[in-house]
Amino acid sequence: MHANAKWEESVVDRSTIIDQVMIERRAKRGFLKDPVSLDTVRDILNAARHAPSSSNTQPWKCHVLTGGARDRITTKAVDIFRAGPDKLAPEYPFFPQPLHDPFIARFNLFRGQLGDAVGVPRSDKYGRLKDVERQFRFFEAPVGMIFTMDRKLEWASFICYGCFLQTLMLAAKARGLDTCAQQIWSLQHNMLREELGLADSDMVVAGLSLGYADNSLAENNMANHKLDIEEFVTFVS
């Protein structure tokens, strides 16, 4: 076989594998108790550190929570949430208020699907609060991660952070693990600052659940609608 043909075949094989990992990566909201070794976590983070960032600034910091530390922090997070969910405010706004079309329509469609999957309609306020508590337990995943960033950085660094988190989640999926990125952990920044010894200059960006998904759960089998490229791409030549 010609060398160029071998190279093209290799590219096709690699692109098929990478595309499949991207397509199969989905947020999972329920995990098995099966442990994840710290060596595997290190491998995932070692791959994720190669994510692109503006002028190689690499704004990410990660705290990996397992064992007793994970249990202590999730217990405190649930207790704080129960004591007054309205008192919790994130480090940065998640959405504009009010959220406008077409984004609010997509938001409501997803929230409705998720509510149906977990058996909690939007009218069930108590059920919704209990469902939020699952987030503060990392959905029972054995590994939780908390991500921080120097708050003096500008909004462009969130682009870098998005690249890092996606790279991390793909690296996990390639190793047979699942994840759920969770903005909601920013609501717990005061507790996390104390528990993790964070500097005042560190902003809590997000958390992440990592483990082996429990795919017997309906919420882990939702068919999320994704836009066709014709709906968001303009080709200019």
Return the domain boundaries, the chain.
27-231
Mean pLDDT (the chain) is 94
Taking residues 164-181, report their average pLDDT: 98
Torsion of CA 16, 22, 28, 33, to 10 degrees: 60
| Mean pLDDT, residues 29-37 taken together | 97
Q: How far is 185 from 132, CA to CA, in rounded Å?
A: 11
- The pLDDT of residue 9 is 62
Strand partners, 64: 145
d(CA 140, CA 213): 10
Residue 1 scores a pLDDT above 60: no
The predicted model scores a pTM of 0.93
Report pLDDT for 129: 87
3 state SS of 36: coil
Domain 27-231: which topology? NADH Oxidase (3.40.109)
